[in-house]
């Protein structure tokens, strides 16, 4: 337990290691005005940012496809077939109606071993999580993606719990091309601005997903799927 006394002992040790005789009462913050994180990749075109994103997807074993607003629903169905079909959970999201995905799901439901269930905020938390856990596939619509790391920025809402993209074996994410930013520098700045403008409606949590779940904690042997999906497909929507 950290008490005031052992806190001071700890800080004195740190201060001595830094060449100080006493614990300072004030420390000036370093000047970060020339931080490289602000200017890095600022001259890249949208095409170059997209190429960097695709290269990182390849490195992370993420499948990716491209789609237009007119054929997005068909590409979603093709991606479902790529991973063997089965049960899919999907969120309450305007994109479902906007791009005709809901109509495709309704048409295919119950055929060829396919079934679709929506995350429903009127149901209990346990029921929604169980539905996600039982699903083979989950569909999400991230707010942004980060090219440098192939990362999805996925905000949570009452109509889209984080389990939708984390519990199924396969995660299919629709990424708007216009939302792909070079680095986390830009994505965090956008989130900060979103919070400043409307803090009451800021997401309860925002998760970052960089490829299929994997770990090398045990003897440096890479194991996929320990903490989340084994398979991941990004559908890049050319909007």
pLDDT at 21: 83
In a domain, 14, yes or no: no
Three-state DSSP class for 10? Answer: helix
pLDDT at 1: 56
CATH no. for residue 94? Answer: 3.40.50.10420
pLDDT at 159: 93
In a domain, 141, yes or no: yes
In a domain, 6, yes or no: no
Instruction: Domain of residue 196: give its range.
Output: 45-237
Number of domains within the chain: 1
Q: Which of 83, 86, 102, 192 is nearest to 141 (CA)?
A: 102
pLDDT at 198: 96
pTM, two decimal places: 0.83
pLDDT at 70: 97
Q: What are the per-10-residue average pLDDT scores of the chain (239 residues)?
A: 76 89 83 77 93 96 96 98 97 97 98 97 96 97 97 94 95 98 95 95 93 76 76 96
Burial of 85 (0-12, 13-18, 19+ CB in 10 A): middle
pLDDT at 8: 84
In a domain, 114, yes or no: yes
pLDDT at 27: 80
What's the token pair of residue 15? 């201060």
Rounded (10°) CA dihedral 216, 220, 223, 229: 20
């Amino acid at each position: 337990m950290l008490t005031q006394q052992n806190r001071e002992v700890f800080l004195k040790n740190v201060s001595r290691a830094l060449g100080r005789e006493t614990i300072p009462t004030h420390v000036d913050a370093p000047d970060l005005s020339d931080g490289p994180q602000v200017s890095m990749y600022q001259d890249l075109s949208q095409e170059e940012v997209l190429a960097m994103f695709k290269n990182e997807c390849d490195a992370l074993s993420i499948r990716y496809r491209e789609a237009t607003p007119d054929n997005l629903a068909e590409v979603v169905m093709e991606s479902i077939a790529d991973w063997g079909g089965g049960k899919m959970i999907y969120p309450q999201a305007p994109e479902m109606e906007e791009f005709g995905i809901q109509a495709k799901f309704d048409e295919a439901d119950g055929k060829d071993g396919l079934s679709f269930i929506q995350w429903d905020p009127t149901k209990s938390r346990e029921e929604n999580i169980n539905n996600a856990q039982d699903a083979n596939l989950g569909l999400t619509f991230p707010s942004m993606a980060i090219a440098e790391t192939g990362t999805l920025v996925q905000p949570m809402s009452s109509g889209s719990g984080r389990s939708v993209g984390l519990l199924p074996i396969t995660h299919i994410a629709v990424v708007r091309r216009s939302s792909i930013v070079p680095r986390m520098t830009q994505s965090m700045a956008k989130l900060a601005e979103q919070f400043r403008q409307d803090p009451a409606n800021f997401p309860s949590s925002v998760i970052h997903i960089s490829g299929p779940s994997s770990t090398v904690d045990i003897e440096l042997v890479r194991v996929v799927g320990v903490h989340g999906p084994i398979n991941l497909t990004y559908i890049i929507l050319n909007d």
